Every structure is written in C-alpha cells, then in structure tokens.
Amino acid sequence: MPRQRSHPLRLYRNEDRGQSRHATWLELFFDLVFVFAIAELSHFLHDELSWGIIASFVGLFIPVWWLWIDFSYYADQFDVERGRYRLVMLGVMLGLVVMALTVGDVLHGHSERFAAIYSALRLVIIWLYIQAWRFVPEARELTARYTISFSVAALFWILSIAIPAPARYWLWAIALAIEISNGPITYVTIRSVPIQKSHMDERFGLFVIIVLGEAMVSVATGVAHTDWQWATILAGISGFVMAVSLWWMYFERADEDVIDQALRGGKLALIRSYIYGYSHVLAFMGIVATGVGVQFAIESVSGHGFPMAEQAVLCGGLALFLLGVTILQWASTHPLPQQVVIARLVLALLTLGCIPLGLSSLVLVSLLAACLVMLNAFDGVPLSVA
C-alpha cells in the first residue's frame, strides 16, 4: 500500500462525548520549547534589572505568550499530528528557539532580528489557516477571518523590520491589537461556530506548570549562590512555599470544560471564555516575575542590597498573578465566590503596598508566603482535608 505523502487537515470534532482528549506528545514537546523563551526573559529581568527592563519584560512577554496561544489553539482546532503539518510544527519550534536568542537584542535596543523571526512565524500561522480554509469546509468562515486579520497584522510586523525604534514598537502594538482582538470579534459575529473537542484548558494548565518550573529554578538558583546560613535557608523555604501556593491556588479551582462549554454556548459564554483565556497571560507573567523576585530576596538575605526595583518585581509579580488568576477563575464555568474575589484583591493591594515600606527581604518573603498559605486555606479546600 503506498505511503500517504500528505494529510489534509481535519477539525477535532465534538462527536464522541465519551472520549476525552489530552495533550499529545508533540504538543508537550512544543510547550517545552517555550521554556527557553521564558527562561531568557527571566534571566534578563534578573541580570539587568532596571525600571526600563521591567517594562521591556512586560512588553516582550505578551508577544511570546501570543505566539504560544496562536499555535496551541490552532493545534486545538485542527489535527497537526501527521504528514507535513507535524514537520511544520517542528520547524516552528526551531524558529521559537531562534526568536528566544534575540530577546537580549531587544532589551539592548536592537530589535530588528526579533521582528524578522517573529514576522516569519506569523507567516507560518497564516499559511496554516489557509490550509485549514482549503481542507476544512465547515470552518471556512472562521479560517477566512483569521487569515485576513493575521495577514493585515503581518504587514505591520514586516514593516517594523525596516522602521527604527521606538516607532517599531508602536507597529508591534498595532499588530498585536489586531491579532488579539480578532478571536473574540470573529467568534461572536460569524454565523456558525465550528465546534471542536477542545483540550485548551489542559494546555493552559500545562503552561502554568512550565512557568512554575521556571520560578522554582529561580528560587533554587538563589539558594545555590549563597552560603546556606539559616536566614538564607528560611528565605528559600518561603520561596518554595510561595511557588506551591501559586500552584495550589490555580489548580484547586482549575476548570477543564471552559472552552468546550463556550463553544456550545451563546455569545456571552464565548466572551467569558476569551476573558478566561487572555487573563492567563497575567498569571503566567506574574509567576515568572515572582520567581525572579524571590531570587532577589534570597540573594539580598546573603548580603546583597534589596532596592525598590527588586521589591517591585517580587510584590508586583505576586499582585499580577493574584489579579490574573482571579479574573480567569471568575470567568470560568464555576465563578468564584464574592468573598474569595475580595480576599485576593485585598491581598494584591496589600502586596503592592509593601513596596515603599522598605521591609527586609527575609521579612517580606516570609510574610508573603504566610499570607498565601492563609489565603489558600480560606480560598479553597482547607489544607487539613486536602
């Protein structure tokens, strides 16, 4: 029997309710490649900290996250496991590695190579949606909208290669605004929403594990570079408790049916699902920044200073996570109780209020760890019965 040389795309249909869907080995491999990009952002935030670097970290995290969203959601919709599509995804992974290597250039004011590789990756996702338009008739209206909007945005990305900064960054912002707004606008305005059997909720959870892993690396690195005195060990334990608390808060209320139910629901459910999905970027960014902030605190305990910018990374990162996880869980199919929302937002504000107080690094990281443990005890299943 001759070997099939290519495999036309198909929609992951929602026909078999009894069969659950999980991340494939290719998707897991794809997610791991993003560890490198996240690690590069984390390292530059730590090694070259300034208020400008903090702003650049936020500004670069969004397009990196958006690439992950685009390719992950495409693989959630369509089968990319066989034939040339698997090879395309592997090629995208190589492109992501190259893109990660250019992060430092952007932070040092030389962003044309980042713009070039990012533009190339945008052209790949456009090509993939064109293929879906060709081979999946029931999703043709959806894929046409995505192809058009992404193509318009790609023009801004390509143009930015030749435009010097800071105008280049404005072009990036315009392109991202077009791309990010396309999804919710498309889904609430098309006549027929193609319903795939989604596992995007699981992909979000796996990415949380990835960024938590990077946070744990930051904590361990901070301890490894110290003299292992009792204060350093206590700060390291507090950092570990903080990471565990972030994991607990996210997964204690993790919802695996948000996207599936939104696709079967009305426009309001679709809008809430986008709030749920997009607010993950705040949680992701907050986890990474918190990990770097804990590393700063551990290093400060061993004799380094603890300037306000380092405190802002720690406290701002935690507040950002609290805001993001609260919004995404509020928008899920099982909304948060009002008292939980209030408790989390109050802690976020109190955390930000710690920045100008000038607390010692050990006191601050221990206090934050204790507050997170108490919040989780109030928030979800009590620790005593977990």
Give pLDDT tens digits for 197-247.
778 888 999 999 989 988 888 888 877 777 777 888 898 899 999 999 999
Mean pLDDT lowest for which of 272-286, 308-322, 369-383?
Answer: 369-383
Check: CB of residue 97 under 8 Å from CB of residue 121.
Answer: no
More confident residue, 309 or 83: 309
In percent, the amount of the chain with pLDDT more than 90 equals 47
pLDDT at 382 over 80: no
Q: Which residues contact 305 (CB under 8 A, 6 or more apart)?
A: none
Long-range interactions of 259-264: CB distance < 8 A, separation 24+: 259/76, 259/198, 259/200, 259/201, 260/14, 260/197, 260/198, 260/201, 261/333, 263/14, 263/193, 263/195, 263/196, 263/198, 264/14, 264/195
Least confident piece of the model among 145-149, 154-158, 237-241, 272-276: 272-276
Question: Over the stretch 82-118, which tens digit does the pLDDT of each residue have?
Answer: 778 888 999 999 999 999 999 888 877 789 999 999 9
Work out the widest C-alpha separation in the chain, in whole angstroms.
Answer: 74
Note the pLDDT of residue 106. Answer: 86
pLDDT over 70 at 261, yes or no: yes
**Mean pLDDT, the chain, as a whole number?**
86
List, in order, residues 6 or more apart from 238 with CB less than 8 Å away. Answer: 294, 362, 365, 366, 368, 369
Lowest mean pLDDT across 141-145, 291-295, 380-384: 380-384
Per-position DSSP letters for 52-76, written without gaps between them: HHHHHHHHHHHHHHHHHHHHHHHHH
| Tokens linked to 366 | 């221990």
The pTM for the full model equals 0.90
The number of helices, as runs of H, and strands, as runs of E, in the chain is: 15, 0
Spatial separation of the C-alpha atoms in residues 28 and 156, rounded to whole Å: 31
**Which residue intervals of 225-266 are DSSP H helices?**
230-252, 258-264
Structure confidence at residue 333 (pLDDT) = 79
Average pLDDT (300-320) is 88
Query: What's residue 268's pLDDT?
Result: 83
Query: How confident is the model at residue 267, as a pLDDT?
Result: 80
Average pLDDT over residues 177-195: 86
CA geometry: angle 222, 225, 226, nearest 5 deg? 95
Give, as one character, the DSSP assignment of residue 354. Answer: T
Decide which of 14 and 49 is more confident: 49
The more confidently predicted of residues 89 and 334 is: 89
Confidence of residue 145 (pLDDT cuts 50, 70, 90): very high
CB 250 within 8 A of CB 283: yes
Confidence check: pLDDT of 359 > 60: yes
For residue 312, CA distances in Å to 59, 183, 193, 319, 321 come to 16, 33, 43, 10, 13
